[in-house]
Amino acid sequence: MTTSRRSPIEIPGLHHGSAPFPLAVGIGGLLVSSAVHGMDPDTGKVPDSLEAQTAGVFANIRRILDAAGADTGDIAKVTVFLGQGQSREPLNAEWVAMFPDKRDRPVRHTVPSALQPPLLIQCEFTAVLPTRSPQEQP
């Protein structure tokens, strides 16, 4: 019998439809996400506008980090998939709001992508999980 070293992260109301994988996993001191989109977990809907979807993506990043016991300061890299022809302005505005100190930002790679409607933007990220003392271990 194999014991998994992965700790799946799930957020109620946030999902990938019937796809058979979690939102993120913690493994070996890392938190690695799958695609993070702008779905509102309260309604299950993806907003129509790029601005609203981008705000939702960043809110969902925070939700995933919080569920894993991490925060935005733990993010090392974000890869953003931006729909063909979409402006980077909403992305850059949310980026600077989440990471205001230009000397303390993760790296980012933005890839023009053919996303499935209604998605206009999605991302994936890697973060370093905070080290816990033995008393804090589950």
Separation between Cα atoms, residue 9 and residue 63, nearest integer Å: 10
Using one digit for the tens of pLDDT, what is the confidence trace for 95-132?
A: 999 999 999 999 999 999 999 999 999 999 999 999 86
pTM (two decimals): 0.91
- With CA atoms as reference, report the closest residue to 47 among 58, 34, 32, 63: 58
Using one digit for the tens of pLDDT, what is the confidence trace for 54-73?
A: 999 999 999 999 999 999 99
Domains (ranges, CATH) in the chain?
A: 7-12+22-129 (3.30.1330.40)
Distance of CA 110 to the CA centre of its chain: 14
